[in-house]
Structure 1
């Protein structure tokens, strides 16, 4: 008589809440979809609309053409500017060419643009806390004349920075940074320059903060943390870093279920799962399904923060 197959090992999957799409990402995707519906394909999109390869692939299948420069776009087709924001020169070039353009910049990124412009107009030297080369940073620095904004990436740079005038300074930040890392940099700047101008409200967006808080609440009580998001997604990469710092023994960034190595979960009793702000929920469910192929899974949703923020589409798409 053959032996009964061994029962799969038990595994608790704790789902972070909130996770996945934020209001800015949701709006940006809707902008591309609505532009395609109104104008037909192709619609050109300057830079990836959001940093998730699955989202980009789906929109490409619908007729979106992703490019890196405005020069790659014809004059007679609409162009959408990504959620990360664009330098002022890009908008000016589109206007000069008479192009139809739709701006999908997240309103919370636009808020940072307004703050930087206001501080510059008041004669303050503007510091931007962020990561060099990230499109949001490029867009924010591009709101002001070249060489005007000083980028601060590290605590050491904040400590060593020599201002033009110590009493005429202000800072803004990228919206997708580590809350804790940024707080250290801000504390350094404020201790060195007590008169430094600050944002009216924190520039790190509510969604970034909420997702990092959710990971912190799970990290110390899990054996493995899985963060679903693309490698070029700043907020997703930060979730891995935050999880490790908060006590997760292991943390992995995966695009989807296909990236998951089940060997990572061997011997684990509890796995925490979250998703970056540009990762759709179907990817989360795909990962849970793959885990369920090898384990007897119990899913628990953990977290109390409810997000009710929504942003309107550009006026041109509402007419």
Structure 2
């Protein structure tokens, strides 16, 4: 389409809140401060958060992203991602005299502490989450393999056979669908009435807030665009919530370049949100891209204001 060929006005509804959460903001800042303190390179185990734009920006500043610690020189600074790591990873870094900087989101750390407490009290843990997700691997790595079982679906909850006569507890990944998780917990509590739950909600405030905002605005949308990475659990869940809550179509897009413009052309009411690891610049870029093709009327939907902040780890406060 010619850039000057503007047609019918598109109604754009921006979800609020959207984008960066406190844990992601802290993790990104940790890498930046580590680079200031130690100089480049600073190694980062796995993506610091699930977003290519963020990772590329930090790489340009001197961060080196690796999959495992055997790629990190002895004695070098290494940052653990916001998703958390298993105890074995921490022990390996210590063994090789690495300067370990833990960027684990404090709300994930809370789940780690819960798992350790349950294991210490001889409870078998049923962890609700997605296999292969780094947060799940980190949480399962807080206890022995025979002390924890992964539950991914309602069907898993219906079929799981924990050790005979074991006291039970459940915990959850922090970025799950609130509704799906509630359904799984309901099955577990029905099957195992004495099961122990977390002292507070495991699903983090940012995940809940973003899902609620999308849920509230989805009905009446022709198209919901969620900015986020394919491997971002909380972003994937926003797409599911939008479809379940009434949006005619919903798509996950990494950035403006991933948009299916034929879908946009057919839509009049378009919602936009962003996962907790997606920077606001990607939202601005998408709006500009739509504006270059159509007249747009932009409104923000949602009233929840987030003011959560987390301190940097003590090793960077000196």
TM-score (norm 2): 0.97
1:37-116 equivalent positions in 2, closer than 5 A: 37-116=36-115
1:233-244 equivalent positions in 2, closer than 5 A: 233-244=232-243
- Deviation of 1:148 after TM superposition, in Å, equals 2.1
- Deviation of 1:316 after TM superposition, in Å, equals 1.0
Corresponding residue number in structure 2 for 1:265: 264
CA gap of 1:12–1:73, structure 2 versus 1, over 3 A, is same
Q: Deviations over 1:96-137 (max 9, x none)?
A: 221111000000000000001101110110110000000000
For 2:314 and 2:161, the matched residues in 1 are separated by 43
1:1-319 equivalent positions in 2, closer than 5 A: 7-165=6-164, 168-319=167-318
For 2:297 and 2:80, the matched residues in 1 are separated by 42
- Contact 1:229/1:278, CA 8 A, preserved across alignment: yes
Please provide the CA RMSD for this pair: 1.1
For 1:262 and 1:144, the matched residues in 2 are separated by 47
- How many residues align? The count is 315
- Deviation of 1:94 after TM superposition, in Å, equals 1.0
Q: Deviations over 1:255-305 (max 9, x none)?
A: 111111221112322100000000000000000000011111011001011
For 1:147 and 1:278, the matched residues in 2 are separated by 32
- Contact 1:167/1:193, CA 8 A, preserved across alignment: no
For 1:232 and 1:195, the matched residues in 2 are separated by 35
CA gap of 1:7–1:258, structure 2 versus 1, over 3 A, is closer
For 1:7 and 1:134, the matched residues in 2 are separated by 43
- Deviation of 1:139 after TM superposition, in Å, equals 0.2
3-state secondary structure, aligned to 2:122: coil
3-state secondary structure, aligned to 2:7: coil
Moved over 3 A (4+): none
CA gap of 1:37–1:181, structure 2 versus 1, over 3 A, is same
- Contact 2:6/2:293, CA 8 A, preserved across alignment: no
- Deviation of 1:63 after TM superposition, in Å, equals 0.6
3-state secondary structure, aligned to 1:266: helix
- Deviation of 1:163 after TM superposition, in Å, equals 2.0
- Contact 1:18/1:210, CA 8 A, preserved across alignment: yes
3-state secondary structure, aligned to 1:301: strand
- Contact 2:176/2:203, CA 8 A, preserved across alignment: yes
TM-score (norm 1): 0.97
CA gap of 1:7–1:277, structure 2 versus 1, over 3 A, is closer
- Contact 1:167/1:196, CA 8 A, preserved across alignment: no
- Deviation of 1:8 after TM superposition, in Å, equals 2.0
For 1:260 and 1:152, the matched residues in 2 are separated by 34
- Deviation of 1:36 after TM superposition, in Å, equals 0.3
- Contact 1:49/1:56, CA 8 A, preserved across alignment: yes
For 1:12 and 1:180, the matched residues in 2 are separated by 28
